[in-house]
Amino acid sequence: MARTTVRLSFSTETANDPVVYQMGQQYKVVTNIRHADVGEDSSGWLELDIEGEPATIEEALEFCRSRGVRVERLSS
Protein backbone atom coordinates (compact mmCIF):
# COMPACT_ATOMS: atom_id res chain seq x y z
CA MET A 1 0.00 0.00 0.00
CA ALA A 2 1.14 3.49 -0.81
CA ARG A 3 0.08 6.81 0.67
CA THR A 4 0.11 10.25 -0.89
CA THR A 5 -1.18 13.67 0.12
CA VAL A 6 -2.78 15.92 -2.45
CA ARG A 7 -4.57 19.25 -2.60
CA LEU A 8 -7.78 19.15 -4.62
CA SER A 9 -9.06 22.55 -5.76
CA PHE A 10 -12.70 22.92 -6.72
CA SER A 11 -14.34 25.66 -8.76
CA THR A 12 -17.93 26.74 -8.20
CA GLU A 13 -18.92 24.31 -10.99
CA THR A 14 -17.26 21.28 -9.38
CA ALA A 15 -17.90 22.05 -5.69
CA ASN A 16 -21.05 19.91 -5.47
CA ASP A 17 -19.58 16.91 -7.30
CA PRO A 18 -18.99 14.04 -4.79
CA VAL A 19 -15.49 13.32 -6.15
CA VAL A 20 -13.96 12.03 -2.89
CA TYR A 21 -16.83 9.62 -2.32
CA GLN A 22 -16.68 8.39 -5.92
CA MET A 23 -12.90 7.85 -5.67
CA GLY A 24 -13.37 5.55 -2.70
CA GLN A 25 -16.18 3.63 -4.37
CA GLN A 26 -14.77 3.29 -7.89
CA TYR A 27 -11.05 2.97 -7.19
CA LYS A 28 -10.96 1.29 -3.78
CA VAL A 29 -8.69 3.87 -2.20
CA VAL A 30 -8.95 5.05 1.40
CA THR A 31 -9.28 8.82 1.81
CA ASN A 32 -8.73 11.05 4.83
CA ILE A 33 -9.49 14.77 4.67
CA ARG A 34 -6.77 16.68 6.56
CA HIS A 35 -7.75 20.31 5.88
CA ALA A 36 -10.42 22.06 3.85
CA ASP A 37 -11.58 25.56 3.02
CA VAL A 38 -14.72 26.59 1.16
CA GLY A 39 -15.35 30.17 0.07
CA GLU A 40 -18.65 32.01 0.02
CA ASP A 41 -18.97 31.23 -3.69
CA SER A 42 -18.62 27.47 -2.94
CA SER A 43 -15.19 27.21 -4.56
CA GLY A 44 -12.49 25.79 -2.34
CA TRP A 45 -9.81 23.22 -1.71
CA LEU A 46 -9.06 20.26 0.49
CA GLU A 47 -5.92 18.42 1.51
CA LEU A 48 -6.46 14.71 1.28
CA ASP A 49 -4.45 11.63 2.22
CA ILE A 50 -5.04 8.77 -0.20
CA GLU A 51 -3.98 5.18 0.51
CA GLY A 52 -4.01 2.32 -1.98
CA GLU A 53 -2.00 0.63 -4.67
CA PRO A 54 0.19 3.19 -6.52
CA ALA A 55 -1.44 2.57 -9.92
CA THR A 56 -4.91 2.81 -8.38
CA ILE A 57 -4.06 6.12 -6.71
CA GLU A 58 -2.93 7.50 -10.07
CA GLU A 59 -6.17 6.34 -11.70
CA ALA A 60 -8.18 8.00 -8.92
CA LEU A 61 -6.30 11.28 -9.35
CA GLU A 62 -6.82 11.17 -13.11
CA PHE A 63 -10.53 10.68 -12.42
CA CYS A 64 -10.47 13.90 -10.36
CA ARG A 65 -8.78 15.78 -13.20
CA SER A 66 -11.35 14.46 -15.66
CA ARG A 67 -14.09 15.93 -13.43
CA GLY A 68 -12.49 19.41 -13.60
CA VAL A 69 -10.75 19.28 -10.23
CA ARG A 70 -7.19 20.63 -10.04
CA VAL A 71 -4.82 18.14 -8.40
CA GLU A 72 -1.56 19.18 -6.72
CA ARG A 73 0.60 16.47 -5.14
CA LEU A 74 1.94 17.57 -1.73
CA SER A 75 3.81 14.39 -0.77
CA SER A 76 4.22 10.74 -1.76
pLDDT tens sequence across 44-64:
999 999 999 999 999 999 999
Whether the per-residue pLDDT at 8 is higher than 70: the answer is yes
Strand order in the sheet with 30-38: 30-38, 44-52, 2-10, 70-75
Domains of the chain, by residue range, sit at 2-75
- Nearest CA-CA partner of 62 in 13, 18, 36, 27: 27
What is the chain's mean pLDDT, rounded? 93
The rounded distance, in Å, linking the Cα atoms of 70 and 8 is 6
Cα 24 to its chain centre, rounded Å, is 10
How confident is the model at residue 76, as a pLDDT? 65
pTM over 0.85: yes
What is the CATH code for 2-75?
3.30.70.260
Q: Give 75's contacts (C-beta < 8 A, 6+ positions apart).
A: 4, 5
- Total residues belonging to the chain: 76
